[in-house]
A = this chain, B = another copy of it.
Amino acid sequence: MVTLAEVAQHAGVSASTVSYVLSGKRSISMATRERVERSIQQLGYHPNAGARALASSRSNIIALMVPLRTDMYVPVMMEIAIAVATTARAHGYDVLLLTGEEGPAAVRRIAGSSLADAMILMDVELHDERLPLLLETERAAVLIGLPAETDGLTCVDLDFEATGALCVEHLAGLGHREIAVIGEAAAVYDRHTGFAERTMDGVRTKAQQTGVRVLHRPCDGGYAAMERTLARIFDERPGTTGFIVQNESAVEPLLNLLRQQGRAVPEDVSVVAICPQQLASEASVRLTSVAIPAQEMGRRAVEQVVAKLGGRGTDEVELLAPELTIRASSGPAPVR
């Protein structure tokens, strides 16, 4: 292990000079800087993370709490996590991966031990147990998702309310008058995850404005569940011509079943999905969709966190505007 002292000696300067060359926190003459840098290279020096953290009380680590559950669409989580990790690196931070398993205790542990300078929480529930602790700790934090009460919190999320409205608007504009929303698994609603409910708020409001009738059905993944759900929908509302799907693992089952039942997409029924762009364009019917901007969310969360750590804090809710891309799954409502 090469130490800073050894570098200093090798370069014929004091330890502090080496430190300042590294941090750039005071001006160094061209000559010594170069000498020091050469020594660093030659000796293969890397500053010791623990020592640095102790002395500066900054670990340059951001903790990321990902949900443990598997009933959410995993690729989105992963995409966010990767975006967080790469963006963090670009700002000189490493990312500590925490699973929801430890629950609120993790917040205490990380904050208490100064292991991380800041935290990013994913999969935030409306009344999340971790939030009170987070507010106590005084550590920089950003939520990906939106809880019921956002006072003193910084949040980043897709504007799901606008998303729901946008989907209804699109279908209504095409003349659809009866719409069914196929939602996440019931457990997601029970847990009061914000985004699912917010989407429905937007859907209902816009439906009222446009005079569209809406039916909302949670749905588990897989074919069996989808089959039951679909049967119920057409039972209760035979005139349904528009679908909004907010459940990645229901997309393909839905399309398959509609096909089996002889309902052509988009001639007989239109489908609008709320899902990652890739899924929408690779489905068996290229789906009109509102994309979930996973990368953007991860990136913005880190940028917010970094801003806070730099003192340029903003306790704000940042909602990303939804964008609807029209593909092959939506068209004019059939004339009856």
Contact = CB atoms under 8 A, between A and B. Distances in A.
Interface of A: 1, 44-54, 57, 59, 61, 64, 66, 68, 70, 74-75, 77-79, 81-82, 85-86, 89, 94-99, 101-102, 108-109, 112-115, 221-223, 249, 252-253, 256, 282, 284
Copies in the complex: 2
Contact of A49 (B115, B223, B253): B115
Contacts of A74: 74-75, 78-79
B97 A85 contact: yes
Contacts of A102: 89
Given A48-B113, A70-B79, 16 more contacts: A46-B112, A48-B114, A49-B53, A49-B59, A50-B50, A50-B57, A50-B114, A54-B54, A68-B86, A74-B78, A78-B78, A78-B81, A81-B97, A85-B99, A223-B282, A252-B252
Nearest to A53: B50
A7 to B, nearest CB: 13
A311 B221 CA distance: 45
Contacts of A99: 82, 85-86, 89
A132 to B, nearest CB: 15
13 contacts: A46-B112, A48-B54, A61-B96, A74-B75, A77-B78, A78-B78, A81-B81, A86-B101, A89-B102, A95-B97, A223-B284, A252-B252, A256-B256
Contacts of A114: 1, 48-50
A113 B49 CA distance: 5
A70 B276 CA distance: 13
A52 B54 CA distance: 9
A96 B98 contact: no
Nearest to A48: B114
Nearest to A63: B94
A223 B252 CA distance: 12
Contacts of A115: 49, 94
A92 to B, nearest CB: 11
The 8 residue pairs across chains A and B that have the minimum distance between CB atoms: A46-B112, A50-B53, A50-B54, A49-B115, A97-B97, A222-B282, A49-B113, A74-B75
